[in-house]
Amino acid sequence: MQLGIRLHDMEKLPFEERLKEARAQGFSCIHLALSKISDLPAGNEALTPGYASWLKKTLDRYGMDVAVLGCYLNLANPDPERLSSFQKRYTAHLRFAAQLGCGVVGTETGAPNLEYKYEPACHTQEALDTFVEGLRPVVRDAERFGVRIAIEPVYKHIVWNGKAARYVLDQIASPNLRIIFDPVNLLHPDNIDRREEVLSEAMELLKDEIDVIHLKDYQILTDPGTGEKKMKAVACGLGEMDYSSVIDFAVRYKPYIHATMENTLPENAAAAREFIEGLEKKALEALN
């Protein structure tokens, strides 16, 4: 795997200094959310060919590439004007991605409300079909620009499991629509006891379309007042996640895939990378 990191999880340094530090910590690619790096322009009007060229030259200087260009907006927003503005934002990112030469433009899958918050309606067929229609013109633009857009299934969003993701892929039926596979994002206290079943189903249904893997860990916490269980995302190796099946999947079916760390801190990012590299080494040895 080509292991990378979300650049906004690095120490808050100027862009080029963050790149330098990420490379020094052993990463070869980044997840880049322009709006989360304070010294990088992020407005639609700023995403020009010249900017993309400068960015690519800077990345090349450090031997880094962009695995994911993040654009995480709600394509199921019920306000037509806001939805249209979000779609234009995706179009700007897709055009920029073509010039930058990044892996995918990445997005999550929203909620059927203005606040982008979880509610039971997120898991309805109506919400899923609304998301499909919001995504459809964005995918058409991806096709026009010759780039890939990848959706990331998340339990608390509309595309919440492997079956829902397969439905979206089949409804839109475009080779430019891909998947970011974040195993922990598919998990929730409601299904954690079926963890391997949930992950195996997603890997089987989405195997051909998975282009990026996100890597983090989780801890299950219990509210002392209500007894409610919640999941806290942490860096790989600091929680309860068993990555055996995921790493085996990557080794068998996704050689050299971009795999980016999430929820790291500057002081534990390198250790998280080493933890995953150790699992990958064992999986490769078992395969051979």
Residue pair 63/99 in contact by the 8 Å Cβ criterion = no
Output the six-digit token pair for 157: 């969003």
Residue pair 227/164 in contact by the 8 Å Cβ criterion = no
Distance CA 105, CA 177 (A): 10
Distance CA 274, CA 85 (A): 41
* C-alpha dihedral (222, 226, 227, 232), degrees to nearest 10: -20
- Mean pLDDT per block of 10 residues along the chain (288 residues) reads 97 96 96 96 96 97 96 96 97 97 95 96 98 98 98 98 98 98 97 97 98 98 90 96 96 97 96 97 91
Q: Which fold has domain 2-287?
A: TIM Barrel (3.20.20)
The two beta strands, 217-222 and 229-234, are: antiparallel
- Identify each DSSP E strand in 117-257 by its residue range: 149-151, 177-181, 210-215, 217-222, 229-234
Residue 288: per-residue pLDDT: 81
Termini Cα distance of the chain = 16
Residue 206: per-residue pLDDT: 98
The CA-atom distances, in angstroms, between 32 and each of 12, 13, 36, 121, 159 are 14, 14, 8, 31, 22
* C-alpha dihedral (214, 216, 220, 223), degrees to nearest 10: -90
Residue 92: per-residue pLDDT: 97
pTM confidence score: 0.96
Helix/strand/coil percent split, the chain, to 5? 45, 15, 35
Distance CA 210, CA 199 (A): 13
Residue 225: per-residue pLDDT: 87
Residue 43: per-residue pLDDT: 96
